[in-house]
């Protein structure tokens, strides 16, 4: 992906990656100053962890990490305090296509590929608040290796909204992405929007059955639709025991040689569609080729209609007083002490 254009990653990160190959780099102070001025201490700290893992320990890395660690810890603490008040971050929901050239990628591969593309395009992902902060990017609903998707979801949180128009951002990312992956929708949502995993209702699938298996597949489909229950023992222990696929598949019908079916997502968001279809048709999942998820139905997000409940709130009455320019005298009474606590200018004495 690097060969498809110059990197738009911050220059200090590009410098660190270059320095990673040198035993004794010269301009570490310049890189350090750039990191601090760009408020990138946390990200640089995680990058150093990666470099040490990839190229092995270097004396300069240990020294640099020692200087950087307290700055990263301070940045993490400040970010934790201000998290609810941060209105600059941008929550993005992308819709992308996964096709022939990308069928061999699993969820981990997709996550790494999109992270790489975002980095090269200079799209600065916000970190989570974990002990080891990770970029806030998820590849949406699981899709098995070997299965295509026409409308897959990617969710990301950026430090701030890109200056370019969505069409330009998608064009830049698509130029980076490998064959078979392409983003075709870019939606900016409020920070309190529900994730796709909580909104998914149904997945719609299509499978073009090979000529040699069509008679068996059609007969099995007829038996499945006529049955009141279709137990599937997934081969590993599950709390609920065997799964009744008649409760999972809500619709199934043939359109000439193409089998179309719909699965319920709310109770089984990560169910492997290849294994499900194989259990119905009596075919090994590995022998099913050409399965496509054509779309996902999402329910309306209840949070978007209740913005007042999710907007950032003032953390305490002291912040209230500060925001009001300190003009208010606020009296707080501790339930365990009758003596009031005064916030504000001291009372005048006579």
pLDDT digits (tens, 9 = 90+) for 60-116: 788 888 899 999 999 999 988 888 777 788 999 999 999 999 999 999 999 999 999
The answer to whether residues 255 and 261 touch, using CB atoms and an 8 Å cutoff, is: no
Q: How far apart are alpha carbons 302 and 335 in whole angstroms?
A: 38
pLDDT for 195: 92
Write out the E strands in 47-133.
Answer: 90-98
Q: Are residues 137 and 224 in the same domain?
A: no
Q: Tell me: do 74 and 111 sit in the same domain.
A: no
Same domain assignment for residues 177 and 208: no
**Cβ-based neighbours of 158, under 8 Å, separated by 6 or more:** 89, 90, 92, 123, 124, 125, 126
The closest alpha carbon to 121, from 156, 148, 146, 88, belongs to 156
Cα angle for residues 222, 227, 233 (degrees, 5° grid):
105
Residues 172-205: tens digit of each pLDDT: 999 999 999 999 999 999 888 999 999 999 999 9
Q: Does any domain span residue 154?
A: yes
The pLDDT assigned to 266 comes to: 85
175 with 211, same domain?
Answer: no
Report pLDDT digits (tens) over 7-41. Answer: 898 888 888 887 766 666 667 788 888 889 888 99
Q: Which residues span the domain enclosing 120?
A: 90-189
Q: Do residue 210 and residue 150 come from a single domain? A: no
Q: Looking at residues 149-165, what average pLDDT do you find? A: 94
- Classify 40 as helix, strand or coil: coil
Regarding whether 259 and 241 lie in a shared domain, the answer is yes
Question: Which string of b and e fits 265-277 if b means at least 16 CB within 10 Å?
Answer: beeeeebbbbbbb
Distance of alpha carbon 115 from alpha carbon 9, whole angstroms: 12
As for how many domains the chain has, the answer is 4
State yes or no: pLDDT of 135 exceeds 50: yes
| CA 56 from centre of chain | 29
| Residues 289, 213 share a domain | yes
């Amino acid at each position: 992906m690097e060969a498809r254009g110059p990197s738009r990653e911050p220059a200090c990160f590009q410098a660190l990656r270059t320095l990673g190959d040198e035993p004794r780099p010269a301009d570490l102070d310049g890189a350090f100053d750039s990191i601090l001025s760009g408020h990138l201490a946390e990200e640089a700290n995680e990058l150093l962890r990666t470099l040490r893992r990839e190229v092995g320990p270097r004396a300069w890395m240990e020294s640099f990490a020692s200087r950087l660690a307290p700055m990263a810890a301070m940045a993490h603490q400040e970010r934790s305090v201000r998290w609810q008040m941060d209105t600059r971050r941008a929550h993005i929901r992308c819709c992308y296509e996964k096709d022939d050239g990308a069928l061999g990628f699993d969820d981990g591969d997709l996550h790494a590929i999109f992270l790489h593309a975002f980095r090269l395009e200079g799209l600065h992902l916000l970190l989570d608040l974990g002990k080891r902060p990770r970029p806030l990017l998820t590849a949406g609903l699981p899709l098995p290796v070997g299965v295509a998707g026409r409308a897959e979801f990617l969710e990301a949180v950026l430090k701030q909204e890109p200056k370019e128009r969505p069409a330009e951002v998608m064009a830049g990312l698509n130029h980076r992405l490998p064959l078979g992956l392409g983003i075709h929708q870019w939606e900016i949502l409020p920070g309190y929007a529900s994730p796709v995993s909580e909104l998914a209702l149904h997945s719609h699938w299509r499978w073009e059955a090979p000529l040699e298996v069509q008679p068996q597949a059609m007969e099995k489909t007829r038996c499945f639709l006529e049955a009141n229950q279709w137990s599937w023992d997934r081969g590993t222990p599950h709390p609920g025991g065997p799964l009744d696929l008649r409760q999972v598949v809500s619709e199934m019908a043939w359109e000439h040689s193409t089998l179309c079916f719909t699965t319920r997502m709310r109770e089984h968001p990560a169910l492997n569609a290849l294994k499900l279809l194989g259990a119905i048709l009596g075919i090994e999942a590995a022998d099913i080729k050409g399965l496509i998820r054509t779309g996902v139905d999402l329910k309306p997000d209840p949070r978007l209609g209740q913005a007042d409940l999710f907007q950032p709130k003032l953390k305490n009455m002291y912040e209230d007083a500060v925001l009001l320019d300190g003009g208010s005298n606020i009296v707080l009474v501790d339930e365990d002490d009758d003596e009031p606590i005064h916030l504000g200018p001291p009372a005048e004495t006579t």
